[in-house]
């Protein structure tokens, strides 16, 4: 009970963060038992990642976490990796359900939502709650909102905003121990069987490319191949792939081009032989030396920031600062790098020469406040930049569905396209004069040679333009798609279609468009008035580990969790030995890393890459009783068919007692892999 008391103390701190309790003290019953039965789901909702709709009555025995989100919201995207940690640690006890209550019309389409679930690797059931039915039944008021249902089926918590993993961890561990103390059968530890979306290859060399940069001086095209976690460099003339930056593994490692890792990179800016990269989920600004072929980090410590930096005050050690989802970068004529810091709703400046970093536009409040100073302006998730010279920086302010102008010479922020009403919910697909026209979550902005401003109007799946000297916005290309769904067609303005284009760049009369949901780069010949697809002359150069088609393995879902008998072990240095038995002609896929992770009740204690059928992972065991959780993610394939990759996920629960009475230091984990039923 002493451990439970400690957990209750930690859980109280967590619950204060989760639920904002008014009183300083709560009993365990008040902390962990709800009083209102969780409402059932409406029967007409579309579900993703599961074969059949779930019911609350069928989830009794599970701790259920509801994540109310909308996919254009950067704060909602910040919650996804936190819930991923929760799902890994509490795979047996907790079920996470994403409730997608769309802000924008385009987000409410199930097929668009399905693409987002695939793009961000969401591995829990997701509901399309487009009519806000579930949202209303839980009284949600903002994105993101978290609600928790206890294992008896009663709603116990609702809290808006981002919640750190530590708060979830402390509260959930307390709740689990509380119910186990009452009756170990209250919590149902049977894994939920899922049917994950996005197991297949989209059939293109790129995967959800986010931004693109065309450089006519060097005849190079730089592509943020975002969901492959790499940068692709191609020749503008021959369309050949000339280099690749990043191994395609997800991470934030500096180093040579072959070993460096990124996590959903987006905008890029070129200064000589240095390519600056906004690495969104690494929360960092990275630099690739194109001559030395080395990647380094110049700003951000790799941790998502939770506090805003003081406005205009230079930070002299930018790599010690926690940034928050930088989405695009752009140089001015003085050599300063402007950063669209989407997660803090601000623009930053990084000065490469002095190594200084500071917020330059926006007070950090998420809003659409124009015709005020740079410091007093309020932005809403800036995601695209274009510097026009003379201190004029255009930015795509996605959540306000506007294109705005930061005028550094006149200390003023104004709007040039989209609503002028200082509102976050006025959007649409309307051409016309400023004040009347509407955009929908535009992510990209670019300038042409003659002063035209081009817009990637993302959720409208259109490319729009503000002609030089004019104030009206007009559609240039893109039919917009039927019912909010984009399309894919080359040709003239009467037929060309895009699907959520996220980036746009101009060079020598050509617009290059990152057509994100079509997994390709498109070109727009402005003189000819034609849209074409940028076809690589050597697409085989883009074949990478994650291009393998990944399918579920042959073992049943019921066999993905194995609890061993109590293991009597010696304290100190030990090991987990993994023995894998493969069917004939099958092996570990050498193109992608299989991993074994070991957690204790306190967190991660060891991890290793499984390279063979026999593998040993060292672990350190403390004296006393405890549990280890060994999670294997195994990628395997048939001999000679590495491009068709199968995935096997299994967890071993290992109760142990470490004491002087035993000299055994090794636990064997055995797994017979079953041939997939093709």
Write down how long the chain is. 678
* pLDDT averaged over every residue in the chain: 90
Q: What are phi and psi for residue 170, nearest 5 degrees?
A: -65, -45
Question: 400, 368 in Cβ contact below 8 A?
Answer: yes
Q: Is 73:425 a contact under the CB 8 Å cutoff?
A: no
Cis ω for the linkage preceding 144 (within 30 of 0) = yes
How confident is residue 420, by pLDDT bands cut at 50, 70 and 90? Answer: very high
The pLDDT assigned to 1 comes to: 36
272: part of which helix (H) or strand (E)? none
Confidence of residue 19 (pLDDT cuts 50, 70, 90): very low
Query: What average pLDDT does the segment 484-488 reach?
Result: 82
Q: Which of 400, 419, 416, 498 is nearest to 453 (CA)?
A: 416
Do 247 and 261 form a contact (C-beta atoms < 8 A)? yes
Cβ neighbours for 110, distance < 8 A, ≥ 6 positions apart: 46, 48, 128
Quick: pLDDT tens for 300-312. 999 999 888 888 8
**Would you say residue 7 has pLDDT above 80?**
no
pLDDT over 90 (residue 601): no
- Given the structure tokens 């941790």, which residue do they identify? 303
Separation between Cα atoms, residue 87 and residue 492, nearest integer Å: 47
pTM: 0.77
Q: What is the DSSP string of 119-140?
A: HTT--S-EEE-TT-HHHHHTT-
Residue 177's region, left for phi above 0, alpha for psi from -120 to 50, else beta, is: alpha
Q: What is the pLDDT of residue 291?
A: 97
Q: Could you give the CA distance from residue 392 to residue 378 in angstroms, rounded to a whole number? A: 17
399-414 pLDDT per residue, tens: 999 999 999 999 999 9
| Cross-strand pairs, 533 | 522
Select the more confidently predicted residue: 612 or 270.
270
- Does 14 score more than 90 pLDDT? no
| Mean pLDDT for the stretch of residues 61-65 | 97
| Pairing outcome for strands 641-658 and 549-552 | parallel
- 79 SS3 class: helix
The contacts of residue 390 (CB under 8 Å, 6+ apart) are: 409
Q: What is the DSSP letter of 308?
A: P
pLDDT per position as a tens digit, 363-407: 999 999 999 999 999 999 999 999 999 999 999 999 999 999 999
- The confidence band for 637, taking pLDDT boundaries of 50, 70 and 90, is confident
Residue 34 in this model has a pLDDT that exceeds 70: yes
Please, is 484 exposed, middle or buried when counting C-beta atoms within 10 Å of its C-beta (0-12, 13-18, 19+)?
Answer: buried
The answer on pLDDT for 266 being more than 80 is yes
Half-sphere exposure at residue 104, Cβ-oriented, CA atoms within 13 angstroms: 28
Asked whether 519 and 204 are in contact (CB, 8 A), the reply is yes
Instruction: Give the pair of three-digit tokens for residue 640.
Output: 């000679």
The DSSP letter of residue 379 is -
């Amino acid at each position: 009970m002493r451990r439970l008391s400690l957990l209750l103390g930690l859980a109280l701190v967590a619950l204060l963060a989760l639920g904002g309790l008014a009183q300083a003290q709560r009993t365990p019953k008040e902390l962990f038992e709800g009083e209102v039965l969780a409402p059932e789901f409406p029967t007409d909702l579309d579900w993703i990642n599961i074969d059949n709709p779930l019911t609350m009555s069928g989830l009794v025995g599970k701790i259920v976490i509801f994540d109310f989100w909308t996919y254009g919201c950067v704060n909602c995207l910040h919650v996804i990796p936190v819930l991923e940690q929760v799902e890994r640690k509490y795979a047996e006890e907790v079920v996470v359900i994403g409730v997608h209550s769309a802000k924008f019309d385009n987000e409410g389409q199930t097929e668009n939502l399905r693409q987002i679930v695939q793009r961000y690797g969401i591995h829990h059931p997701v509901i399309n709650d487009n009519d806000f039915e579930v949202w209303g039944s839980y009284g949600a008021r903002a994105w993101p909102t978290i609600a928790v249902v206890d294992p008896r089926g009663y709603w116990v918590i609702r809290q808006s905003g981002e919640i750190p993993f530590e708060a979830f961890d402390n509260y959930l561990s307390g709740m689990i121990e509380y119910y186990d103390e009452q009756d170990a059968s209250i919590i149902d530890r049977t894994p939920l069987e899922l049917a994950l979306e996005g197991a297949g290859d989209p059939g293109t060399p790129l995967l959800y490319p986010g931004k693109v940069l065309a450089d006519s001086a060097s005849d190079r095209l730089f592509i943020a191949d975002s969901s492959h976690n790499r940068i692709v460099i191609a020749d503008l003339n021959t369309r050949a792939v000339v280099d690749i930056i990043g191994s395609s593994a997800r991470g934030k490692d500096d180093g040579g081009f072959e070993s460096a890792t990124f996590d959903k990179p987006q905008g890029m800016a070129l200064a000589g032989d240095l390519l600056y990269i906004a690495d969104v989920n690494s929360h960092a600004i990275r630099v690739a030396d194109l001559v030395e072929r080395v990647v380094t980090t110049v700003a951000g410590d790799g941790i998502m920031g939770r506090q805003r930096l003081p406005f205009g005050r230079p930070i002299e050690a930018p790599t010690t600062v926690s940034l928050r989802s930088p989405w695009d970068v752009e140089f001015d004529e003085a050599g300063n790098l402007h950063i669209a810091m989407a997660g803090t709703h601000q623009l930053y400046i990084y000065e490469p020469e002095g190594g200084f970093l500071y917020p330059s536009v926006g007070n950090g409040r998420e809003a659409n406040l124009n015709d005020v100073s740079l410091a007093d302006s309020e932005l809403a998730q800036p995601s695209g930049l274009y510097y026009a010279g003379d201190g004029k920086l255009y930015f795509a302010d996605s959540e306000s569905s506007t294109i705005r102008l930061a005028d550094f010479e006149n200390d003023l922020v104004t709007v040039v396209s989209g609503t002028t009403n200082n509102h976050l919910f006025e959007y649409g697909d309307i051409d016309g004069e400023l004040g009347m026209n509407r955009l929908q979550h535009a992510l990209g902005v670019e300038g042409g040679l003659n002063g035209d401003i081009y817009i990637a109007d993302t959720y409208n799946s259109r490319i729009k333009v503000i002609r030089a000297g004019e104030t009206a916005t007009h559609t240039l290309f893109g039919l917009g798609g039927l019912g909010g769904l984009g399309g894919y067609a080359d040709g003239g303005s009467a037929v060309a279609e895009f699907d959520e284009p996220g980036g746009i760049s101009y060079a020598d009369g050509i617009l290059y468009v990152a057509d994100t949901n079509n997994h390709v780069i498109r070109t727009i010949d402005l003189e000819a008035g034609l849209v074409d697809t940028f076809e690589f002359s050597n697409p085989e150069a883009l074949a990478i580990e994650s291009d393998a088609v990944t399918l579920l393995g042959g073992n049943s879902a019921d066999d993905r969790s194995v609890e061993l008998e109590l293991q009597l072990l010696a304290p100190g240095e030990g090991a987990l030995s993994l023995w894998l038995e493969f069917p004939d002609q099958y092996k570990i896929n050498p193109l992608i890393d299989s991993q074994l992770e070991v957690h204790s009740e306190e967190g991660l204690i060891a991890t290793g890459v499984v390279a063979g059928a026999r593998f040993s992972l060292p672990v350190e065991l403390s004296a006393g009783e405890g549990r280890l959780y060994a999670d294997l993610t195994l990628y395997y394939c048939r001999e000679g068919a590495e491009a068709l990759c199968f995935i096997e996920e299994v967890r071993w629960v290992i109760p142990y007692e470490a004491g002087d009475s035993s000299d055994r230091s090794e636990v064997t984990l055995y797994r017979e892999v079953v041939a997939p039923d093709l």
